[in-house]
Each structure stands twice: as C-alpha cells, then as structure tokens.
C-alpha cells in the first residue's frame, strides 16, 4: 500500500497565532518553540506586548529579527487587562485572507499536532471554532486532566467557556464577526472578562457550530501569575465560591448575554432577552425560573446540579 503523501506547503493549513504578552519573559522561550514547531501547518506568530518591564518585548523583537514567522506589533500603550490586549490583537493584527486564527498565552506548552488536528476538524466538520481539553501542570510535577468536552447545552455559552483560549482555533468568518462586534459594541464586549468567553458567546449565539475536542492539546502551566487558574483543588473551589457569592459570575452571565444579543438571530433573541431579565433581577420568582433553566447552563451533569442549587439558595 502506498504511503499517503505529506501535504504540500500550498495545501497546508495557514494559521496566524495571536500572542498576548505581559511580563512573561521567563516562560516565552518554551511557549514560542512549541508554536513554531507545530507539525503539518504553516504557522506565523503575531505578538502584542502590553507594556512589559521584564524584557519581554525586547526578547520578542530578537525572535522576530531571527525568524520571519514572528511579527511584533508596535506598542499601543497599556491596555489595562489581558482581555483588552487580546481584543487589540483581534482588531488590529494583519491577518491574511483564508488564515485560521489561534490564540496563545505566554506560558503554556502546545502539543506538536495541536493546530493540524484542529484545522482538520474545522475542515471535516464545518465548525467555526475548535477548543479542547487541557492538562494542567505545576512546577512540582503534578499533572491533571481538565475535561471540557461534555456535550454542549443550549445556553452553556452564557456561563462557561469551552476551554482555555490557548486551545482555540477559529475560522476567518468568526474572526470577521468578532471584529464587527468589537467595532460596533466594544463597551459591551469589554465587560466580558475573558476573550475565550467572548469568542464562544458570539459563535454560539450566532447559531454557528463549535467543537470541543476530547484530546488535550495544551499543557496548561499553573503558577502565581495566572490570570485564571485550572480550578483544581479545595483552595480553588473556595476561591470560585467567593466569586459566586460576590455575584461576579452572575454579572458575567448578564454581560455575555448582552453581547449574545448583538449577534443572535431573531429565533433566539426573545429567549436571550428573557434570560437577561432573569440574570438582572433578584426576586424569588426570577430565582425559581433560573433554577428551571439551570440544566441548559453547564455541560457537566454535576455542574448543572451545583449551579441549580446555588441559584435556589440565592447564593448565585
């Protein structure tokens, strides 16, 4: 039997990786190596540094001088947050026609076939976004599978992302939609605290398909500077509960619903408006209506029970 020929350079998926950095110099060599060493794709990196003080931008400029696949965007002043820096990349990065777009943190490690596998899923399944499970790891060698690929629910996109943004690969038309929303409704978008949640919201609310792959594609580094961690262990659970008690999570659900309404077709507009009203109302009646809808808010069965209980008790 003949061995299948390797894809020619012209036929290989073309992928632009948007890399947002801020004081990540100690992690970047390993992260960038695993991006540029991706197999079966033509990849290039577009980096935007957010006023680092540890030499990150200078190091990136050295890499760009040595490798034409690396581009460093001109400084744009302090953004104020990681999500704002990613939004700048989405809005202003020079993306070639037909390129898929991936997103990189500054401290993870990518599996060698990550981008090729996700590009193949987009091609074969006609989806506009792919994400995946990840494996968290710590400096002392602990590794934990973080499962994200439970079956999607009707409105899970309002309360959770489909995995870390570092696992995302999106189509050109989803990038175009993101740019449209950021151009027309930036004040609504920036109220969403994470770029991965924003992208998942607009894709699903638009009625476009998203695939969450069960194969881990990223080693997700855990350290003290993580914007958000792996949600593993008792300390993390208590921290999340504190956020829920402060109603941050509920406020984020409302923010994501407002963004969803900017792109949703008429068929789902009324449902989203009703959910937004419930998220913004603290009455006993709205609480019980949310409890009835809780089964559509989270993918994992245990999480659906937990969110329902937290709503019923008035904690969420």
Q: Could you list the pLDDT tens digit for every one of the 316 residues in the chain?
A: 334 344 445 589 999 999 999 999 999 999 999 999 999 999 999 999 999 999 999 999 999 999 999 999 999 999 999 999 999 999 999 999 999 999 999 999 999 999 999 999 999 999 999 999 999 998 888 999 999 999 999 999 999 999 999 999 999 999 999 999 999 999 999 999 999 999 999 999 999 999 999 999 999 988 555 445 445 555 666 777 788 889 999 999 999 999 999 999 999 999 999 999 999 999 999 999 999 999 999 999 999 999 999 999 999 9
Cβ neighbourhood burial of 192 (10 Å; 0-12, 13-18, 19+):
buried
Residue 7: per-residue pLDDT = 45
Choosing among 3.90.550.10, 3.30.70.1450, 3.40.190.10, 1.10.3720.10, the CATH entry for 14-230 is 3.90.550.10
CATH 3.90.550.10 residue spans of the chain: 14-230
Residue 6: per-residue pLDDT = 42
Query: Would the pTM count as exceeding 0.75?
Result: yes
């Amino acid at each position: 039997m003949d061995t299948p020929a390797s894809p020619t350079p012209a036929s290989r998926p073309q992928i632009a990786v948007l890399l947002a950095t801020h004081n990540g110099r100690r992690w970047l060599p390993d992260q960038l190596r695993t991006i540029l060493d991706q197999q079966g794709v033509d990849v290039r990196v577009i980096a935007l540094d957010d006023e680092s003080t540890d030499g990150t931008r200078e190091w990136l400029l050295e890499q760009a001088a040595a490798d034409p696949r690396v581009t460093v965007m001109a400084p744009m002043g302090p953004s104020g947050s990681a999500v704002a820096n990613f939004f700048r990349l989405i809005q202003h990065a020079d993306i070639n026609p037909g390129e898929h777009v991936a997103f990189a943190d500054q401290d993870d490690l990518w599996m060698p076939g990550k981008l090729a596998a996700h590009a193949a899923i987009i091609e074969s399944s006609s989806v506009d976004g792919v994400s995946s499970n990840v494996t968290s790891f710590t400096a002392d060698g602990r590794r934990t599978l973080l499962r994200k690929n439970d079956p999607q629910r009707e409105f899970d996109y309002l309360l959770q992302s489909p995995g870390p943004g570092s696992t995302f690969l999106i189509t050109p038309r989803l990038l175009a939609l993101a740019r449209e929303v950021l151009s027309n409704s930036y004040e609504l978008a920036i109220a969403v605290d994470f770029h991965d949640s924003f992208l998942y919201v607009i894709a699903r609310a638009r009625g476009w398909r998203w695939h969450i792959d069960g194969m881990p594609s990223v080693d997700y580094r855990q350290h003290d500077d993580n914007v958000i961690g792996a949600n593993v262990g008792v300390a993390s659970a208590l921290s999340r509960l504190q956020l829920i008690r402060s109603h941050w999570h509920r406020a984020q659900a409302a923010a994501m619903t407002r963004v969803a309404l900017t792109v949703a077709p008429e068929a789902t507009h009324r449902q989203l408006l009703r959910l937004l009203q419930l998220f913004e109302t603290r009455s006993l009646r709205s609480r019980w209506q949310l409890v009835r809808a809780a089964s559509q808010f989270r993918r994992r069965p245990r999480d659906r029970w937990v969110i329902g209980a937290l709503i019923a008790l008035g904690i969420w």
